[in-house]
Structure 1
């Protein structure tokens, strides 16, 4: 096994050094016996994995199945393969099985990263079902605070953040003989960081195979970054999709008399009046918009129709209802439904053309999440969610001219983010200076400088020499999966004797605000929040909520 190969190499090096130092022969013999036992156990484990590799089959209905032989051959012949395929073509569930068919998963696991937790769980369950097993045997998953993957697993689906966390204890990623970076087109900070790490790792790991998948055709950059790796294009299984434009009157919108929620509800009413039946997917930018839309649709009382919200913070059991509900449904979702999930039965899409897109503000060194227009690529992804079961209709709540004026692709997150956390991890992993790291799109020099300056102010980094270096505090902060500022709070709290209280505040600052304040119910929300409010500190308000919850519930 690959993980044992590295461990055995270190163990044998120590034995060799002891032999040079004229160590006790009896002790050396014991150490050699232990190394031999480890090697034999590793060989036996690999033999067991070879003999118990799951039998795989591929649903003929999925478009990617027609490319199976080509993909398997390319995996065998190349270290890196790029697969481009429309959402719903089957790449997330079938490529891990194709890796098994290509002989992968024997010397290490087949790891597959996903941008979102719900996708990691859903895909793991689907692959396990296709193998005729329960999750946790041949197929497992790992997300923050939850892992259901055995040591004997062949396939492990995880969030990209989990793979990054594993690099701290396994810098060479020897647990895996194959890594699939799924949904790479999203170009999140984690995805770009992982791709950069892999570019530095592959020359040292010639036996490691990497498959990068994208739901867009913008694959040239991925291919060029990995030595012009071969690209496989998979066509989706789609029916024609008609696009209708239903822009909001800008004057009424400016006066607050008409909102995109109003227009979305109006569009659904229009579909029902025209007797256009079929499941509907509505894209909204925020949770508040989703809950308001769901409430208003519930009030419409559409017969035999289930209204379902879908956003990342929703409990997994609630998210799973989009797959289990029978009969007609209307799903109101954030961009979590744009590419990560394929919701069955969708015939109509209503697209507000908006999403919360993070934006770093260098002047204040803060990150905001404003509601912003999505790119053409994202709009096309949303359109592609319908037309998979029959002719589809995508209603865009903006004009065609607006669509044509939008940027072709969303700006990579690394070019609009605070880089302090990335720089901290890079220094901890000895990956060199951020300006020389092989990112697909290098960040702006100003962003790198801001990140280093912030880490210096926090006492995590010194910049006295040519290369920035981690301090003792910095090494401790790098081991915490937190924003560096919050990690620094935790360290200081240990000295001030208030770690318990600050841990609660740090947790609250690491997630979305637990307080909900729907616009139409703002007075009631303020009244409900008032008993917890501390006049001197929002932080203490959060602590009051925690204490009250644990005291009374």
Structure 2
């Protein structure tokens, strides 16, 4: 058979596989004739190896793009890569370039793992079929690590063929700037390695010593780029790293180096006149070398300290300390509730430890199963149990969906939307409400949750054309403290009005605007309206603004109180309505010019309140016991349990499901439904579904169920008495979510949830004494317990400089504002006189915290705005990665492919770039355990931020230099700085030496990084840093000179002055002061005295 005939046969059999590979790598848009021509060209290559059973799962997670620099790639090779990519782009379109990158996989240096290793399954051994050759690239798995390198198994994690990759060959550039291989790789991590050498063993091939290298191997694609490395530049870099000038001429004669005693003697001879300096010409050269080495050591060991200089406008107000204690959120710090909140739930801690132990055992079982080559053993009993539990939950959910759909269809047939509106309590006061708003500019409305005030009042005003001012119809605005509430309420009102969301009824939340020119009723978060006040302080486009859920007293709501009060003076046509389920109506009436108060009677029933006799040691365990007692011993009716957060809720779901399964058919079915703010809206809607016949529903919720949502059918409420609140931590210099006791107003609001549809019971898991003596009457407003830097920046942008006389309903402590002003000063948002700088005015226009806004603007100067925009957009979404319980190990392994050795900010950048290279593929997100919805959200945020950048005509440049990206984030988050203690390896914040820890999920976890900046802190069992990145300490004095300064080696810093040398304990010494010189003198005198006697 001729070559052409064999090629045709090969083409007919392999073309479908080739086409599938191209489509799975983003080539589904290629024309058919183009794909065919590329395949025909490739089949002429002798080294082409296309496996027909190759799947997408086995493909690399990130296609190689020559124009995109890898997070860990040296800067000196970028120019060559960019030029190569530019040359390629002249000949191909974007799609054709993508196909050419797929064609690169047929390169001879890659054929070893492409054609051979990919064919191997995870539980099979085909070592005998693989012939390891020098210079080839192979897929490997890290099996062991030592201080001098990492052992890598080729082909699969269970392969007998393994080699050693030395520490000097574990980075792309060949640089060894790490202390241990674990700083670069981790156990069981999948990597690409090149075989550098093989020492054959003639007796047993398994004893061959294989030398491996990662130098020049792209870890994202497995392509060999060794030819691109400029060895001269690499050698020069290594010379600079060692701090020695090795470029001196080798032709110079070698001379013996004088020792320090010899140099000292020569200097003494010169000083005495016995010799002259000209007799020793090399002495000055030695002196210069000593000074150069000293300077080099000083550069490498940079020590910084806080700059305590006060700005002119804050002279004498800092009190010598930048820290302050905000208003306490605890009435009795020594009470039983406070102690229980500080200690936390032991049940959660035990469950967390049990989960960790179970995961370790699962990993151990998986390794054991692979080593014994037993596929049956790999599916352990725990996996089977988890699979059965998952199937049970899915079937249960489907059953509830069918039941709910049938009930809704029946309900809608019996009652129309208009009849539902008329049945609400607020309808009876419709006429009185309309008359009150016509006669008054301000109105306070108090109504129970579920009375219809949020959805109906704005419709009454719209239907009666109260929004008409002259001949113009203006908008009616309604604020909500939460984004979830704004979206869900707008959807409901749009359905009642008979339009689509975004037409007559719309909503606006951060980074999402669903309004149009037709919109007349607009729901929004209070933060959005606060930002609108920057552009329109008199609110001319609104005829009426309703501040809903005003009792929550968020910072934005409190600021809006004062802004709207001022706007009404300048805009007499504007009307303001304040609504809430529970608030101090007299206080609000006095603040708003003694306006009238209307109370909407609710459909409430009597609720029996039961207190605990003794304080509970573990509030979560007591709450779950109470749920089971209600389920077993009380009449029918659903249960509502108030918990503090997501971890407590998820733990409770597992425990309750396990307990119900244990009881079996002895009790009714118990359907456990969680709800918290981070859940998707479609998941939150499940709590409104009624329980099937013969079953009881228990809702585990945060304080979102107090007033923001109404759940019908609740008859029993379990109230442990705790809530998570945002409070400023002066030691860490940032806001933290902490568990604290609720207020008495919150407790009464929770108990009222049990009396919505009939008589109910409220089980308070605290004593009546604690209710009276340990709970505050009302919650402390956010403005008195949180950092106000963002709020003050916005007020300054509005031209409000007299903050002390600003009309706050509850003014924040003066020291709180002083600290916020100092933070803005260090961010260069304020000048020495406390006035807004041009940079500060630009920062105020970005809908984010000042530190992030400063980072974005600094990225323009560092020429990396596009990368920073991407990272900021990724930080704005809640979760990017997810870890299914049954595939946690696989998810972790996929996530490691995106890790950057510099930190998590660059890891997010790698993820976004890879997602774009995949064509924003849903399949790619699923394969890499990434939330597609989060990626789409990040894309929208990035576009809106780019719009703001273009508004100020800021150039959005791109850079391949990772150090500039890290510099940009350091310029904004320098306050969130932690330094590693070289003795114990722990981190301490530079603000107050508070111990913090790297979270195990971070990309730099386990690496020896001296200085890191972090985005936020997660307070669980420890204070964990979230999203941390390594920085160079020399950047601090350059990027934040108002906050840091270089330590003077001749002056002891305040920190060092506080340090005290303490001797080690000597168990054999009669006195622990026996080491002191005075003790020796006293002992000698005592001995002499004894001799004289």
**TM-score w.r.t. structure 2 length?**
0.42
Considering only CA atoms, is the larger Rg found in Structure 1 or Structure 2? 2
Q: Structure 2: 5+ residue runs without aligned partners?
A: 1-416, 662-666, 919-923, 926-1093
Rounded Cα–Cα distance in structure 2 between residues aligned with 1:348 and 1:141? 34
The match for 1:470 is: 836
Q: Structure 1: 5+ residue runs without aligned partners?
A: 1-54, 254-258
The match for 1:444 is: 813
Rounded Cα–Cα distance in structure 2 between residues aligned with 1:317 and 1:439? 38
The match for 1:313 is: 678
Q: Give how far 1:242 is off.
A: 1.2
The match for 1:41 is: none
Rounded Cα–Cα distance in structure 1 between residues aligned with 2:581 and 2:836? 38
The match for 1:83 is: 445
2:778 is paired with a residue whose SS is coil
Indicate whether 1:421 and 2:786 are aligned. Answer: no
Asked if the contact 1:87/1:384 (under 8 Å) is kept, the reply is: no
The change in CA–CA distance for 1:451 and 1:138 in structure 2 (over 3 A counts) is same
The change in CA–CA distance for 1:58 and 1:510 in structure 2 (over 3 A counts) is same
Deviates more, 1:401-410 or 1:147-156: 147-156
Structure showing greater relative contact order (alpha-carbon pairs closer than 8 Å, 6 or more residues apart): 1
Deviates more, 1:387-396 or 1:303-312: 303-312
Asked if the contact 2:615/2:766 (under 8 Å) is kept, the reply is: no
The match for 1:19 is: none
The match for 2:688 is: 323
Rounded Cα–Cα distance in structure 2 between residues aligned with 1:148 and 1:279? 35
The change in CA–CA distance for 1:286 and 1:549 in structure 2 (over 3 A counts) is farther
* Count of matched residue pairs: 488
Q: Give how far 1:537 is off.
A: 4.1
Rounded Cα–Cα distance in structure 1 between residues aligned with 2:652 and 2:613? 18
1:294 is paired with a residue whose SS is helix
Rounded Cα–Cα distance in structure 2 between residues aligned with 1:249 and 1:118? 35
Q: Give how far 1:80 is off.
A: 0.6
Rounded Cα–Cα distance in structure 2 between residues aligned with 1:173 and 1:314? 33
Deviates more, 1:529-538 or 1:128-137: 529-538
Asked if the contact 1:76/1:102 (under 8 Å) is kept, the reply is: no
The change in CA–CA distance for 1:77 and 1:280 in structure 2 (over 3 A counts) is same
Asked if the contact 2:510/2:847 (under 8 Å) is kept, the reply is: no
Please, which of 316, 333, 340 is the counterpart of residue 701 of structure 2? Answer: 333
Rounded Cα–Cα distance in structure 2 between residues aligned with 1:110 and 1:308? 35
Indicate whether 1:357 and 2:725 are aligned. Answer: yes
5 Å-filtered alignment, 1:51-450, equals 59-106=421-468, 107-246=473-612, 250=616, 253=617, 259-299=618-658, 300-301=660-661, 304-324=669-689, 327=692, 328-405=696-773, 406-450=775-819
Asked if the contact 1:271/1:277 (under 8 Å) is kept, the reply is: no
Q: Give how far 1:211 is off.
A: 0.4
The change in CA–CA distance for 1:371 and 1:217 in structure 2 (over 3 A counts) is closer
Q: Give how far 1:448 is off.
A: 1.0
Deviates more, 1:537-546 or 1:91-100: 537-546
The match for 2:279 is: none
The change in CA–CA distance for 1:526 and 1:385 in structure 2 (over 3 A counts) is farther
Rounded Cα–Cα distance in structure 2 between residues aligned with 1:525 and 1:359? 34
Asked if the contact 2:474/2:542 (under 8 Å) is kept, the reply is: yes
The change in CA–CA distance for 1:277 and 1:524 in structure 2 (over 3 A counts) is farther
The change in CA–CA distance for 1:508 and 1:291 in structure 2 (over 3 A counts) is farther
1:142 is paired with a residue whose SS is strand
The match for 2:854 is: 488
The change in CA–CA distance for 1:183 and 1:473 in structure 2 (over 3 A counts) is same
1:127 is paired with a residue whose SS is helix
Asked if the contact 2:641/2:717 (under 8 Å) is kept, the reply is: yes
Q: Give how far 1:463 is off.
A: 3.9
The match for 1:30 is: none
Rounded Cα–Cα distance in structure 2 between residues aligned with 1:549 and 1:286? 31
The change in CA–CA distance for 1:512 and 1:407 in structure 2 (over 3 A counts) is farther
1:411 is paired with a residue whose SS is coil
The change in CA–CA distance for 1:268 and 1:530 in structure 2 (over 3 A counts) is farther
The change in CA–CA distance for 1:249 and 1:192 in structure 2 (over 3 A counts) is closer
Q: Give how far 1:101 is off.
A: 4.6
1:360 is paired with a residue whose SS is strand
Rounded Cα–Cα distance in structure 1 between residues aligned with 2:793 and 2:843? 8
Rounded Cα–Cα distance in structure 2 between residues aligned with 1:491 and 1:497? 10
Rounded Cα–Cα distance in structure 1 between residues aligned with 2:614 and 2:882? 27
Q: Give how far 1:454 is off.
A: 0.8
The match for 1:17 is: none
The match for 1:5 is: none
C-alpha RMSD of matched pairs (Å): 3.0
Asked if the contact 1:362/1:450 (under 8 Å) is kept, the reply is: no
Q: Give how far 1:333 is off.
A: 1.2
The change in CA–CA distance for 1:261 and 1:503 in structure 2 (over 3 A counts) is farther
Q: Give how far 1:167 is off.
A: 2.3
Q: Give how far 1:275 is off.
A: 4.1
Rounded Cα–Cα distance in structure 2 between residues aligned with 1:145 and 1:374? 32
Rounded Cα–Cα distance in structure 2 between residues aligned with 1:393 and 1:525? 44
Rounded Cα–Cα distance in structure 2 between residues aligned with 1:401 and 1:526? 49
Q: Give how far 1:174 is off.
A: 1.9
5 Å-filtered alignment, 1:511-522, equals none
Q: Give how far 1:529 is off.
A: 7.2
Asked if the contact 1:482/1:510 (under 8 Å) is kept, the reply is: no
Q: Give how far 1:274 is off.
A: 0.9
Asked if the contact 1:56/1:101 (under 8 Å) is kept, the reply is: no
Asked if the contact 2:623/2:720 (under 8 Å) is kept, the reply is: yes
The change in CA–CA distance for 1:365 and 1:516 in structure 2 (over 3 A counts) is farther
